[in-house]
Amino acid sequence: MILPILEFPDPRLRTKAKPVGEVDSNIRKLVDDMLETMYDAQGIGLAATQVDHHLQLIVMDLSDDKNEPLVFINPSLAPLCVDKVPYDEGCLSVPGFYETVERPARVRINALDREGKPFELQAEGLLAVCIQHEMDHLSGKLFVDYLSSLKRDRIKKKLEKQHKLQA
Ligand code: QAP
Ligand code: CO
């Protein structure tokens, strides 16, 4: 089932996600719906916050053939270096806008998989950028928060105008 994606500046995107209690069939259904929603929208990552479910749950797929789904439940993250790298980021909740954001180049992630089994991963490159971007969503943060208020306000006004035209 494809879920509606919240768009900036929807205040629900500012909600802090709660940890998943048990990885049961309801959670697995949400994971599957999020993957379907992400693939349908041509995204590489989606956090539960973006589909108005306020649980610590992220899906991603960075593969060319879109056949390598990644699931992160209750993820925690530690930077592995102080150097930051710039990357041109976008977001399914900020459609049509891409801006450069700097983040730690290497991170370690601990999370549960789709079966509720713990795993650890060290990431760099796009994987590191994407997981940090998605984990920000779980704490109510968006990539536009790293931009100047001038840039953020311009994006906000353009999206609000589009939302009015759509309504
Ligand atoms: C986060 O973003 C990300 O504006 C995932 O019109 C993006 O999947 C992390 C998308 C880039 C690191 C680098 C955006 C699709 C998808 C749009 C996405 C759009 C259509 C964004
Ligand atoms: Co995003």
Per-residue pLDDT of the chain (167 residues; tens, 9 = 90+): 999 999 999 999 999 999 999 999 999 999 999 999 999 999 999 999 999 999 999 999 999 999 999 999 999 999 999 999 999 999 999 999 999 999 999 999 999 999 999 999 999 999 999 999 999 999 999 999 999 999 999 999 999 999 999 98
Cβ of residue 133 lying under 6 Å from some atom of ligand 1: yes
> Strand locations in 20-125, DSSP E?
45-47, 57-60, 70-79, 84-89, 99-104, 106-112, 118-124
What's the length of the chain? 167
Minimum-distance ligand to the CA of 38? 1
- Segment 23-55, tens digit of pLDDT: 999 999 999 999 999 999 999 999 999 999 999
Cβ of residue 48 lying under 6 Å from some atom of ligand 1: no
**How much is the pLDDT for 134?**
98
Among protein residues, the one with the nearest Cα to ligand 1's atom 5 is 45
Alpha carbon distance 157, 38 (integer Å): 25
What atom of ligand 1 comes closest to residue 44's alpha carbon? 8
Cβ of residue 45 lying under 6 Å from some atom of ligand 1: yes
Amino acid at 8: F
Whether 142 contacts 20, CB under 8 Å = no
The residues, ordered by sequence, that sit 6+ positions from 41 with a Cβ below 8 Å of its Cβ are: 5, 92
Residue 57 pairs in a beta bridge with 73
Among protein residues, the one with the nearest Cα to ligand 1's atom 13 is 89
